[in-house]
Amino acid sequence: MIVYQLGCPQGHFFEGWFASAEACERQAGTGSLTCPTCASAEVRKLPSAPHVHTSVPPSAPQAANGEAGRRNALEALRKFVLENTENVGRRFPEVARRIHYKEEDARGIRGHVTPEEAAELREEGVETLSLPADFLATEKVH
């Protein structure tokens, strides 16, 4: 198998796995190789680093400062979310849909949804990220 980094003119990047270089060229030539995000058939190979197999697997990176490092990372994430999103509260499903359907300008939002509302949003293709309810509390993460 050969793995290629691929991209389309809209700036989407993705990986393609092929039996051979010829198989990649053949699929690209027939238009059957398309971008998974926008379906553009104008796909090109991009430079990519080779996959190097070594006899010794690399060791897993150690977490910086252990527990303190995790706390600091969570606090930084919490701060980023609070500073870069608008709290729309219980109106989250309504506002998320308006943004998704381009009825409002795109922006980061946060709020509350029921499990049923979250499922409906997913079915409509509205991308969301669930966080624990107390994650954005104003006190520090412990």
Q: pLDDT of 84-138, one tens digit each? A: 999 999 999 999 999 999 999 999 999 999 989 999 999 999 988 888 877 877 6
Q: In the chain, where do the E strands start and end?
A: 2-7, 13-18, 44-46, 86-89, 109-111
* Strand-pair category, 44-46 with 2-7: antiparallel
pTM of the model: 0.50
Retrieve residue 22's tokens: 């010829």
* H helices, E strands: number in the chain: 4, 5
What is the rounded average pLDDT for all residues in the chain?
84
CA angle 120, 11, 47 (to 5 degrees): 125
- Nearest-10 Cα torsion for 88, 91, 94, 100: 20
Q: What is the percentage of the chain residues whose pLDDT exceeds 90?
A: 28
Retrieve residue 108's tokens: 């980061």
CB 4 within 8 A of CB 18: yes
CB 14 within 8 A of CB 24: no
CB 48 within 8 A of CB 4: yes
Residue that wins the pLDDT comparison between 15 and 67: 15
Q: Which residues contact 108 (CB under 8 A, 6 or more apart)?
A: 81, 84, 85, 86
Retrieve residue 89's tokens: 């509260």
